[in-house]
Amino acid sequence: MVYLKRKIDTFLTEWKREPGHKPLIVKGPRQVGKTESIRRFGEQNYKYVVEINFVEEPKYKMIIADGYKAADLIRNISRMDPAKRFEEGETLLFFDELQEFPEIATALKFFAQDNRYDVICSGSMLGIHYGRIESNSVGYKTDYAMYSLDFEEFLWAKGYREDIADELLGHMQDEKPFNEAELSVYGGLFLDYCTLGGMPAVVREYIVKDSFEGSLAIQRQLLTDYEEDVRKYAQGMDQVRILNVFRQIPVQLSKDNKKFQISKVASGARFKDYRGCIEWLADAGMINVCYCMHFPELPLKGNYDETKYKIYFADSGLLVAMLDEEAQEDLRANRNLGVYKGALYENVVGEALVKSGYDLYYYKREDSTLEEDFFVRTAKDLIPVEVKATNGRAKSLRTLIKGDKYEDIRYGIKFTGGNVGYDDQIYTFPYFCAFLLKRYLKGR
C-alpha cells in the first residue's frame, strides 16, 4: 500500500528526540490516517511495538484490574499475550481506539513517572470523551490534533518535493505573480483537491489510478461510516437531530446567506434543542463551526454570538460527496461547480484555516450588507479574509479597511481564482495559497 507522507511524521520524530517526553495523545476524526502514521513510526523507530486496539480486542480493558500503575499494566498485558515484548527504551506501547476505553488515560500519569516505555494513544471521536481524558491525565501528556490531508500534503502525495510550500510562500511574500503555467498547474491540482478532499483512502485511490475513478464510492462509504458513528456514540433522540443537522449542511451552504438556520433543519426545531448536536459534530471532528462576531475588533475569543454561526465540513470531500448526482457529474466531468462554487471554495478555505491552527469567525452587520467570510489575527492586527468565487470587487473588505470604526483592521486578504496582487491595502492570492496564510502573516 502506498504510504502518504504526513506532517505528523516530523512531529513524532521530534517528540521522540525530546528528553523526558510525555505520553502522547493523537486525536482527530475517524479515518484520517492516525493509526497508519503511528504504526509506521513505531516500526521505524523501535525494536518492539506493542499495539492494543480496544475495539478489536476489548479483553484488554481488563489490564487495569490491579490499578493504573505502569508496572501493573505491563504485567497484565504480558500475562494476556506473552508474545508482546517490553524492553526499556526500545518499546512503543500504542493504545488505539481510545474512545472505546478512555479510562486508560488515567494510566498516562504513571507511565510518565515510570519513563521506561514510550506511550502513544489514538482514537476517533475523542471529543466526545475528551473532558474525562483531560481530567484524568492533566500535566502528564502531550496532545496532537490530526486532520485529513491539507493541500501541502496533497502536493507531496502527487510527488512534489517537500519544500514546495516555500516556493509558493515566496510568491506571496514578494507579491510576485505566478506565471501562466504555474497558475494552471497549481490551480488544476487545487480543483482536484477540492473535489477529492483530503481523506487518505480517497487520495490514495486517486494517486494510484491517476483519475477520479472510484473516489466518489469511497467518499460515500466514509459518509456512511460517519453516520454509523453517530448511531453508535450519540444517545437517544440526539442521533436523529445530529444526523438532521449533518445532512442539512450542503443545502444551507449553497444559499447566499450561509448562516446556519436551525429552523430549516426540521419542523419546529429550536436552537436550544439542537445546540448540543452542533457541539457533538464539532467535537467529533466532522464539522468546523464559524461563529459570528459581535463586532470586528480584537480580541476574537469571547467576542462572538454563540447562537449565530456557519457550519462547514471538516473535509471538503464530504461536502462534494453529498451533492446531487447531476452536480457530481458536472463537477468531475466538466470541472464545473455550479451553484456550489462559492460554498465549496469557502468550505475549503475554512478547512485550510482550521488545519493551520485557526478558529473560525465571520461578521455580518444586521442593518447593512456588510459581511466578511473569515477573520484571523496577528499579535496586533485583525485581518479580514474574503473568499471570492469571482474576481469582483470586495466591497465589504474595503469598508472594513477604510472605515473609522474598525481600528484593529489595517489591511485585508482576498482569495480568488486569479493571481497574486496588491491594491488599496488588499492582498490577493490564489485559492491554492490558503494553507500558507498563517506562515505568510507570521513573516509580516
| CA distance from start to end of the chain | 41
pLDDT reported for residue 128:
67
How confident is the model over 334-342, as a mean pLDDT? 71
Dist CA 260 CA 364 (whole Å):
13
Q: Which of 39, 308, 53, 8 is nearest to 143 (CA)?
A: 8
- Return the beta strands (E) in 191-300 as ranges: 287-293
Query: Residue 166 corresponds to which amino acid?
Result: D
pLDDT band at 212 (very low <50, low <70, confident <90, very high): confident
Percent of the chain with pLDDT over 90: 75
Dist CA 444 CA 426 (whole Å):
14
Q: CA 308 → CA 271, 368, 430, distances in Å?
A: 10, 17, 29
pLDDT band at 2 (very low <50, low <70, confident <90, very high): confident
Cell output for 265: 433543519
Residues 290-311: tens digit of each pLDDT: 999 999 999 998 899 999 999 9
Residues 351-362: tens digit of each pLDDT: 999 999 999 999
**Higher-confidence residue: 130 or 240?**
240
Q: Are the CB atoms for 61 and 54 separated by under 8 Å? A: yes
Q: Are the CB atoms for 314 and 283 separated by under 8 Å? A: no
Cell output for 272: 436550544
Q: Which of 207, 234, 241, 205 is nearest to 222 (CA)?
A: 205
Burial class (CB in 10 A: 0-12, 13-18, 19+), 135: exposed
338 secondary structure, DSSP code: G
Residues 49-102: tens digit of each pLDDT: 999 999 999 999 999 999 999 999 999 999 999 999 999 999 999 999 998 898
Indicate the pTM of the whole model: 0.94
Residues 18-35: tens digit of each pLDDT: 999 999 999 999 999 999
Residues 6+ positions from 85 with CB-CB distance below 8 Å:
48, 50, 91
Residues 6+ positions from 137 with CB-CB distance below 8 Å:
23, 25, 105, 106, 108, 109
Q: CA 9 → CA 15, 35, 353, distances in Å?
A: 10, 12, 21
Percent of the chain with pLDDT over 70: 95
Burial class (CB in 10 A: 0-12, 13-18, 19+), 53: middle
Q: Are the CB atoms for 311 and 289 separated by under 8 Å? A: yes
Q: Are the CB atoms for 417 and 430 separated by under 8 Å? A: yes
Q: What angle do CA 94, 95, 100 make, to 5 degrees?
A: 165
Cell output for 51: 499495539
Quick check: 340 pLDDT over 80?
no
From 132-146, 178-192, 417-431, the region with the lowest mean pLDDT:
132-146
pLDDT reported for residue 132:
67
Dist CA 101 CA 55 (whole Å):
9
Cell output for 349: 478555505
pLDDT reported for residue 129:
64
pLDDT, mean over the chain: 92
Q: Are the CB atoms for 395 and 372 separated by under 8 Å? A: no
Residues 357-396: tens digit of each pLDDT: 999 999 999 888 899 999 999 999 999 999 987 666 788 9
- For the chain, how big is the Rg over CA atoms in Å? 23
Dist CA 105 CA 114 (whole Å):
15
Dist CA 305 CA 294 (whole Å):
6
Residue 274: its H or E element: helix 271-283
pLDDT reported for residue 338:
65
Query: Residue 45 corresponds to which amino acid?
Result: N
Q: What angle do CA 242, 314, 146 make, to 5 degrees?
A: 115
From 89-98, 117-126, 243-252, the region with the lowest mean pLDDT:
117-126
SS3 359: coil
Dist CA 48 CA 240 (whole Å):
44
Looking at the DSSP bridge assignments, the partners of residue 290 are: 310, 360
